Amino acid sequence: MSARRQLIEVDPEVSMVKQCQILGVCRSGLYYEKKPQFSREDLEVLNRMDEIYTQSPFYGYRKQYEQLMREKFNIGIHRVRLYMRILDFSVIYPRKKTTLKNKTHPVYPYLLRKITIKHPNQVWAGDITYIRLEKGFCYLVAIIDWFSRYILSWRISNTLDADFCIEALDEAIQKFPLPHIFNSDQGSQYTSTNHTKKLLKHQIKISMDSVGRWADNVIIERFWRSLKVENIYPIGYDSPKTARKGCAEYITYYNQERLHAGLDYRTPREVYWSLN
């Protein structure tokens, strides 16, 4: 029920028309129910495409289409291609054009191609991913220390504005030694003036992935895969609140207990704090 309908009372002495006039609302608005952004069928396709990408991030729209056809989804190849653009699998956003750069924002070069990362706080990486819920989705931003794989901060949001990215950055800056380089994609959240000014204020060099090259930020992409395969897909959260609680528990486990072969079977926390 809409908020406007809650204001209207059944009153034999004051008609609904008169009450609407008094409240200054349109009567037709009493019967309007907001439609969801995506239908249940749309969400099923988006969620399955997210799973396919998590397992095979090198799949283009043709392979995505062929896989969906094998699984009997009723979808055309042009719709798959549209959903690939809507999701933008280098950083998974279920809204159109969310990762296309804002032409009014400066874009910085990728700085990590020829450097060896030897210690914590040399490079931090930030990224956003799509988290499916039973009847919708939300977004998770995380900042990771490239060397140790330690998750420094994170936030969950219902919207894709830059605020929750800046909140995560503020927390990381307050809690940990500053990095030399901060790497991200070219999404508008990271090219926004507020985000880049904060990095430059602290004399942190800004690095941005090349367009379409998910591997440029591969460390956090691997974390997304672990999070989804080990936590989000098996559990299936029903709301941002439960997703926030579950992600908090998983990130604690990931940082403090989960062994990494690439870290000589140590935890991210052990590697990060052993050199700080």
More confident residue, 271 or 42: 271
The DSSP code for 101 is P
Q: How far is residue 73's CA from residue 8's CA, in Å, rounded to a whole number?
A: 44
Q: Which domain holds residue 8?
A: 1-34
The DSSP code for 276 is -
User: Same domain for 167 and 195?
Assistant: yes
pLDDT, tens only, 76-126:
998 888 887 766 555 333 433 334 455 567 889 999 988 999 999 999 999
The pLDDT value given to residue 32: 42
The length of the chain, given as a count of residues = 276
**Residue 118 resides in a domain:** no
**Residue 162 resides in a domain:** yes
Containing H/E element for 223?
helix 218-227
Residue 2 pLDDT > 50, yes or no? no
In degrees and rounded to multiples of 5, residue 157 shows phi and psi of -145, 155
24-28, 137-141, 199-203, range with greatest mean pLDDT: 199-203
Please state at what angle helix 77-87 crosses helix 61-70, rounded to 10 degrees: 120
In degrees and rounded to multiples of 5, residue 2 shows phi and psi of -75, 160
CATH number of the domain within which 194 lies: 3.30.420.10
Q: What is the pTM of this model?
A: 0.71
In degrees and rounded to multiples of 5, residue 64 shows phi and psi of -60, -45
Residue 234 pLDDT > 80, yes or no? yes
Q: How many domains would you assign to the chain?
A: 3
Residues 223-244, mean pLDDT to the nearest whole number = 93
**Residue 46 resides in a domain:** yes
Nearest by Cα to 129 from 173, 165, 78: 165
**Residue 193 resides in a domain:** yes
**Residue 204 resides in a domain:** yes
Q: How far is residue 144's CA from residue 172's CA, in Å, rounded to a whole number?
A: 9
Please name the amino acid found at residue 256: Q
User: Same domain for 69 and 133?
Assistant: no
In the chain the beta strands, taken as DSSP E runs, fall at: 123-133, 136-145, 151-157, 181-184, 205-208
User: Same domain for 248 and 181?
Assistant: yes
Evaluated on CA atoms 222, 225, 231, 237, the torsion sign reads: positive
**Residue 92 resides in a domain:** no
User: Same domain for 270 and 184?
Assistant: yes
Place of tokens 């420094």: 152
Say if CB 146 and CB 123 are below 8 A apart: yes
pLDDT, tens only, 169-226:
999 999 999 999 999 988 889 999 999 999 999 999 999 987 655 566 789 989 998 9
Q: How far is residue 28's CA from residue 173's CA, in Å, rounded to a whole number?
A: 50
The pLDDT value given to residue 154: 98
More confident residue, 221 or 153: 153
- Beta partners for residue 126, in sequence order: 143
Two structure tokens written together for 267 = 């935890």
Helix (H, G, I), strand (E, B) or coil at 131: strand
Say if CB 201 and CB 176 are below 8 A apart: no
DSSP β-ladder status, 136-145 and 123-133: antiparallel
